[in-house]
């Protein structure tokens, strides 16, 4: 048969060639960027690390973007990785999403990935972001994006050294109600702002637990890679409750009730008052378990008060000036204001903000645009680090049970060696920065 197949006359060969030349060559419209599709050369190849409940929400937000192609997920928990694969494959109508369980191997192998969604527990956020940026990836990291002041410094330095785009998941910086509040401050419509109030989570405590849950039999490594799950944390015995979110409230894994929502609201307030690139300089200890009522002060004289109550929804902020006040939280149809007349320019202020900054009212879209343009997104590394420094300093104030002063230029507490030692914590090898 082979000999016969090659025994073509010149006339037969030319006849067949003419038939193939006349036949149309089919190329899918999506591959050419037609019918609204984005051509492959312009797509952002996306992967994920540690995508659980919150990360799945983020991923559902990202998948509809036409210039995104999600290709792989890395998670030490088999069931979670499989759930993400099913979500992605269902979206694309194929079975192409690839599962990994080892983060260093994932980053080394997938050189095709442009950006990563990092939605692990708090303990992994900084380290995963740093590893990803060193591997040449841009990053969207869930909050709280650092466990310590030192981790935040390392994220800033890594993004700068490797010229990576980084966005932390403080998405309210890209929502209309909160943007309006910030613009009311920036444009002077509240007069001289003297006080801002930042919502902290109304559960758990600033007093984190230093013990751990009782040991349970460790599952097979292919089901849950416990060493990978712990990452930089001290070795603790396996307990299945940790993998279901019960790590909150423990010093090894959490940033307390202050970090839980303060990661959002401190960032919101600091951007609003023009303090995105600094941190509070004074922290007044309050004698309770949560930090509720703590007064912090910035170098510009503005006070930020930590507050559990006073809003009708989560993650509220309030700005108070000599000419009035404005407030917003999740679930508000519109901001609360001291005078109804303040709302007359709502649409204009939001439009003007978008025109001035060239940022959309979509946190994910802001990241994707910046991946292409290489401009800094709204929740960039410096903003993240400075607002998280205020979170960490407030926690340290509560732990030491005394007032603290902080120098945001030197990035150290003033005349307090014990507080300065708490700016960092040991990381378990090989999971180190």
Within-domain flag for 357? yes
Please tell me the total number of residues recorded for the chain in this structure.
433
Within-domain flag for 54? yes
Within-domain flag for 248? no
Same domain flag for 166 and 179: no
Within-domain flag for 66? yes
Which residues make Cβ contacts (< 8 Å) with residue 182, sequence separation at least 6?
268, 271, 272, 353
* Residue 71 main-chain phi, psi, to 5 deg: -120, -20
Tell me, what CATH number does 315's domain have?
A: 3.30.360.10
d(CA 181, CA 179): 5
Same domain flag for 162 and 63: yes
Same domain flag for 292 and 410: yes
What integer pLDDT is reported at residue 38 of this predicted model?
Answer: 79
d(CA 144, CA 255): 7
CB 285 within 8 A of CB 293: no
Within-domain flag for 426? no
* Residue 160 main-chain phi, psi, to 5 deg: -70, -45
The pTM is what?
0.91
Same domain flag for 106 and 167: yes
Within-domain flag for 239? no
- How many structural domains are present in the chain? 2
Same domain flag for 148 and 190: no
d(CA 309, CA 289): 15
Same domain flag for 324 and 351: yes
- Map residue 209 onto helix, strand or coil: strand
The verdict on whether omega for the bond into residue 430 sits within 30 degrees of 0, i.e. cis, is: yes
Positions in the chain whose pLDDT score sits under 70: 1-37
Q: In what order do the strands lie in the sheet with 166-168?
A: 98-100, 68-74, 44-49, 115-118, 138-141, 166-168
What integer pLDDT is reported at residue 35 of this predicted model?
Answer: 55
Within-domain flag for 372? yes
Task: Quote the distance between the C-alpha of residue 178 and its chain's center.
Answer: 18
The residue from 121, 154, 171 where one domain ends is: 171
The first and second tokens of residue 387, run together, are: 């607002």
Same domain flag for 182 and 44: no
The first and second tokens of residue 319, run together, are: 């700005």
Same domain flag for 79 and 187: no
Same domain flag for 308 and 403: yes
pLDDT tens, residue by residue, 244-298? 999 999 999 999 999 999 999 999 999 999 999 999 999 999 999 999 999 999 9
Same domain flag for 263 and 384: yes
pLDDT tens, residue by residue, 51-82? 999 999 999 999 999 999 999 999 999 999 99
The residue from 125, 150, 171 where one domain ends is: 171
Within-domain flag for 238? no
Same domain flag for 261 and 192: yes
What integer pLDDT is reported at residue 359 of this predicted model?
Answer: 98
What integer pLDDT is reported at residue 39 of this predicted model?
Answer: 77
CB 62 within 8 A of CB 88: no
Range of the domain at 289: 172-207+254-421
Same domain flag for 177 and 146: no
Tell me, what CATH number does 77's domain have?
A: 3.40.50.720
What integer pLDDT is reported at residue 32 of this predicted model?
Answer: 45
């Amino acid at each position: 048969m082979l000999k016969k197949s090659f025994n073509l006359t010149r006339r037969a060969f030319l006849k067949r060639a003419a038939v193939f030349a006349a036949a149309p060559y089919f190329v899918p419209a999506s591959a050419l960027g037609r019918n609204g599709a984005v051509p492959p050369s312009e797509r952002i190849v996306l992967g994920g690390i540690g995508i659980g409940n919150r990360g799945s929400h983020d991923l559902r937000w990202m998948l509809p973007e036409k210039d995104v192609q999600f290709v792989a997920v890395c998670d030490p928990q088999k069931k979670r990785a499989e759930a993400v694969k099913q979500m992605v494959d269902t979206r694309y109508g194929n079975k192409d999403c690839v599962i990994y369980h080892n983060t260093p191997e994932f980053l080394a192998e997938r050189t095709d990935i442009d950006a990563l969604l990092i939605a692990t527990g708090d303990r992994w956020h900084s380290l995963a972001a740093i590893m990803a940026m060193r591997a040449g990836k841009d990053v969207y990291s869930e909050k709280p994006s650092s466990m310590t002041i030192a981790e935040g410094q390392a994220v800033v330095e890594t993004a700068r050294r490797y010229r990576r785009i980084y966005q932390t998941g403080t998405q309210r910086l890209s929502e209309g109600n909160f943007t309006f509040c910030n613009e009311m401050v920036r444009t002077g419509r509240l007069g001289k702002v003297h006080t801002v109030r930042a919502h902290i989570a109304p559960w758990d405590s600033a007093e984190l637990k230093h013990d751990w849950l009782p040991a349970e039999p460790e599952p097979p490594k292919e089901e849950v890679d416990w060493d990978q799950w712990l990452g930089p944390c001290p070795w603790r015995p396996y307990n299945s409750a940790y993998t279901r979110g019960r790590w909150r409230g423990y010093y090894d894994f959490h940033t307390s009730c202050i970090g839980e929502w303060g990661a959002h609201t401190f960032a919101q307030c600091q951007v609003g008052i023009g303090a995105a690139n600094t941190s509070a300089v004074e922290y007044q200890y309050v004698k309770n378990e949560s930090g509720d009522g703590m007064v912090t002060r910035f170098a510009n004289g503005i006070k930020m008060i930590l507050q559990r109550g006073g809003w009708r929804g989560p993650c509220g902020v309030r700005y108070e000036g000599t000419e009035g006040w404005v407030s917003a939280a999740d679930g508000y149809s519109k901001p609360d204001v001291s005078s109804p007349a303040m709302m007359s320019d709502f649409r204009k202020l939001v439009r003007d903000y978008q025109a001035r900054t060239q940022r959309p009212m979509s946190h994910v879209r802001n990241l994707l645009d910046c991946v292409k343009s290489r401009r800094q997104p709204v929740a960039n590394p410096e903003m993240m680090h400075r607002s998280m420094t205020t979170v960490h300093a407030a926690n340290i104030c509560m732990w030491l049970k005394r007032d603290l002063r902080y120098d945001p230029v030197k990035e150290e507490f003033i005349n307090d060696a014990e507080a300065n030692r708490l700016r960092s914590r040991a990381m378990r090898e090989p999971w180190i920065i």
